[in-house]
Structure 1
Amino acid sequence: MKNVVVIGGGIVGLSTAYYLHKEGCAVTVIDKGDITTGASFVNAGYITPSHIIPLASPGMIAKGIKMMFNSASPFYMKPRLDLDFIKWSWYFHRSSTAIKVEKAISVIKEINLLSRELFTDIKKSGDLGDFQLERKGLLMLYKTDETYLHEKKIAERVQDEGLDVAELNKIELQQLEPNVRIEAEGAIHYQCDAHTTPNEIMPKLLSYLNKNGVHIKTHEEVIDLKTTGNTINEVITNKNNYKPDEVVLAAGSWSGELAKLLHLKLPLQGGKGYSINVARETGITIPAILMESKMAVTPMNGFTRFAGTMEFSGNNNVIRKERVLAIANGASSFYPDVKINATEIKNVKTGLRPVSPDGLPYIGRSTTIKNLLIGTGHAMMGWSLGPATGKLISELLTDNKTSMNVFSFDPNRNFQ
């Protein structure tokens, strides 16, 4: 029986623990928080095979520079003299080419489909009890012809990949969502997508692991990783010391800093997102992305979530009021009868999504530390890809055949 320490208690860390437990490993999960907050709890809950275009795509850096001095913009990069951020920005720029995006499309689709299947399998297993997992698709709502034509090109590429897509005009859109007034000219409907309630699944997953012998260590921060040669022989926290056979680094946006303890280069930046929950009837029944507002809307169990923005301003939980108000205003511009009130705005939550320079996750073994596996860097697809990442890491760790080729996710890849 392998003794494994998983660093990080987000959806990736807990999914990894879930599948390693199924493989008979003795697992300990270490998290510096209490596993009730962060990106795994405040995301849009999407499972998105349709999202085949990585964040690092042509024109994104130009958009970031253009929006750099507007802290209310949907894509905000705070100017700062930070060597890691400068290097990451350069790697991001180098990755944002049409050729690299084209290479990424098929693997992003494949891992998303794998994860959608695994979410379904977990629900069918009954391990977590019942939870929301609905296949209503995702509406890309648009107001202008320019936005429509841009998304239509992506939709055609999604169809080329064999995924289900439909176009809806204004009347058809309103017929699909009859209980809420929508100010949009139409929608692209990615019928291949699904959605969940993260706040429901995370506690159930945590409870399952606790009941089945996985050791969950909260409020413990990893402060050192001791090595002998090319092997980690001790994980040291502010409370305990652990001597594992294998270590999985799944600490989200903090993974890059922990990698430095091992003298590893793992370019990552935390992309901050915000979410507002509205726990009253909105009439919204189908998840949607409000394209001009660049935000997401999800009907979850007990509330509707309005989420959005990608903010690169360092690993902090500072809430920028202007960005929160942009989400509230964006919601009412598409759903004029849905007004997010001051109390709901005040209760906004934030989380940091780990973003790699090329928009692809890091999933795989380190080539320099033989008992280290890495699972992070999922950007906006962390929730969608959590189970797939956990499954793939468990397969790599136990020397089983992987469910898909993981070469594109190699954490040792070079961005020079």
Structure 2
Amino acid sequence: MNKNIIVIGGGIIGLCTAYYLQKEGHQVTIVDKSNFTSGASYVNAGYITPSHFMPLAAPGIINKGIKWMFNSSSPFYVKPRLNIEFLKWTWDFKKSATALKVEKAIKPIKDINLFSRDLYEEMKAANDFNFHYERKGLLMCYKTDEVGEEEWKIGQRGIEEGLKVENLSAKDVENLEPKAGLNIKGAIYYHSDAHMTPNQFMSEMLIYLRSKGVRVFSNEKVIDIEISNKYISKVITDKQILTCDEVVLSAGSWSPLITKKIGLKIPIQAGKGYRINVNQSTNITIPAILCEAKVAVTPMDGFTRFAGTMEITGINNTINPKRVDAIAKAAKAYYNSVNITKSEKEKSECGLRPCTPDGLPYIGKSSKCNNLTIATGHAMMGWSLGPATGKLVSEIISNRKTSLNIVPFQPDRTF
């Protein structure tokens, strides 16, 4: 049966969800508080990342986080604050950072990334779009032997999971990137990964959805929902009242504000990330992570993007110049030919990534509401997991068997 579905949130997750729902014949309406030009879906590194099968909440990250907490330019910065949601999330994060829980998370994260990559390639092959997409893999570039050994341990785990991974010397990397001028000791090379240009895809997807009859409301904030007997009948915005059969919540870091209205608390903290676009020629052709600095480098369509940092400081879009400078310094330290200009730094932007305590997204229905499907909490993998999440949500709402086991992603799970 075709349904009237409201998707709250128009980032990569929301748009991909609308894409698959309309293919199932449903009438879809997207509501977003932005104008579809900013946010995490537009400032991310554009990675499709089967390589990122290790959750953020990994053993050892707590000690690193405590050390980094006192350095506002560190790769992972948490600002301590007396906020009950933050304190609860921090405790759940600590409980999730165990070897046993990380091991349980690896396969679901890897599988959903591979599934999503295949779906991106299906979209590309369908000729409905003309977006930039390249599958050149990902270089995990390191400067110290210690970090190189850590990355190779993860790489070997990736091999066990069926990924093609190589341990490259500096000379090997130079053969792959002869003009980039990398100043490193070596790199772990994941052949599984791909990359894109986010703004391009988002723009094309919006045009496509509108052409298929999907209603899109921008600059419109959801302020309330009408619910009775575990059923949402209306979504109330600051401009109108919308009726519905089903609701999909894909509002990223703002999702807990909606779930509170149905008595469901989903632990999410906003993880701010920054990006600098470099229009000068860099001769970089393969995406890379600059490991010690935790900076992502992506050769996009017409420019190179340097992105990074994870800043847990609450919901705000304040640009911290120290964070931007840290990314620019890392670029110069790893690439001899790159010198990011003052003007490029001044044009930097940030986005908020919704982070769960255990590093797994929330995908599925909650026992608190029969016609609400939650699709959020993807952290740094939001771009990578857009199509997979959208496909799974469409299968859930259409009462089809899901392509993947979604039990690990249940919104009601405990930590």
Where on the TM-score scale, by shorter chain, does this alignment land: which range?
A: over 0.9
Offset at residue 62 of structure 1 (A): 1.9
State the alpha-carbon separation in 2 of the partners of residues 122 and 102 from structure 1: 31
Offset at residue 393 of structure 1 (A): 0.3
Structure 2 partner of 1:127 = 128
Give the TM-score of the pair, scaled to structure 2.
0.99
Deviations 1:202-249 (A, max 9, x none): 000011001110000001100001111110111000001011000000
Q: Secondary structure at the match of 1:396?
A: helix
Structure 2 partner of 1:37 = 38
Structure 1 partner of 2:320 = 320
Structure 2 partner of 1:223 = 223
State the alpha-carbon separation in 1 of the partners of residues 244 and 279 from structure 2: 43
State the alpha-carbon separation in 2 of the partners of residues 261 and 325 from structure 1: 40
Structure 1 partner of 2:78 = 77
State the alpha-carbon separation in 1 of the partners of residues 136 and 63 from structure 2: 34
Offset at residue 166 of structure 1 (A): 1.2
Q: Secondary structure at the match of 1:371?
A: strand
State the alpha-carbon separation in 2 of the partners of residues 238 and 263 from structure 1: 22
CA contact (8 A) 2:141 2:184 kept: yes
Structure 1 partner of 2:342 = 342
Tell me the amino acid that sits aligned with residue 26 of structure 1.
Q
Tell me the amino acid that sits aligned with residue 16 of structure 2.
S
Farther-moved stretch of structure 1 (298-307 vs 57-66): 57-66
Deviations 1:288-311 (A, max 9, x none): 000111110000001000000000
Offset at residue 279 of structure 1 (A): 1.1
State the alpha-carbon separation in 2 of the partners of residues 369 and 55 from structure 1: 29
Offset at residue 361 of structure 1 (A): 0.2
Offset at residue 168 of structure 1 (A): 1.3
State the alpha-carbon separation in 2 of the partners of residues 255 and 296 from structure 1: 26
Offset at residue 179 of structure 1 (A): 1.2
Structure 2 partner of 1:292 = 292
Within a 5 Å distance, the mapping from 1:232-381 to structure 2 comes to: 232-381=232-381
Q: Secondary structure at the match of 1:154?
A: helix
Offset at residue 276 of structure 1 (A): 0.2
Offset at residue 368 of structure 1 (A): 1.4
Q: Secondary structure at the match of 1:370?
A: strand
State the alpha-carbon separation in 2 of the partners of residues 266 and 247 from structure 1: 16
State the alpha-carbon separation in 2 of the partners of residues 95 and 390 from structure 1: 26
Offset at residue 186 of structure 1 (A): 0.9
2:405 maps to 1:405: yes
CA contact (8 A) 2:263 2:368 kept: no
CA contact (8 A) 2:235 2:241 kept: yes
Structure 2 partner of 1:153 = 153
Structure 1 partner of 2:211 = 211
State the alpha-carbon separation in 2 of the partners of residues 70 and 390 from structure 1: 37
CA contact (8 A) 2:274 2:324 kept: yes
- Specify every segment of 5 or more residues in structure 2 that has no aligned partner in the other structure, as ranges: none
State the alpha-carbon separation in 1 of the partners of residues 233 and 170 from structure 2: 61
State the alpha-carbon separation in 1 of the partners of residues 128 and 267 from structure 2: 35
% identity of equivalent residues = 57
Structure 2 partner of 1:197 = 197
Offset at residue 131 of structure 1 (A): 1.5
Structure 2 partner of 1:59 = 60
Give the TM-score of the pair, scaled to structure 1.
0.99
Tell me the amino acid that sits aligned with residue 109 of structure 2.
I
Q: Secondary structure at the match of 2:277?
A: strand
Structure 2 partner of 1:182 = 182
State the alpha-carbon separation in 2 of the partners of residues 329 and 88 from structure 1: 31
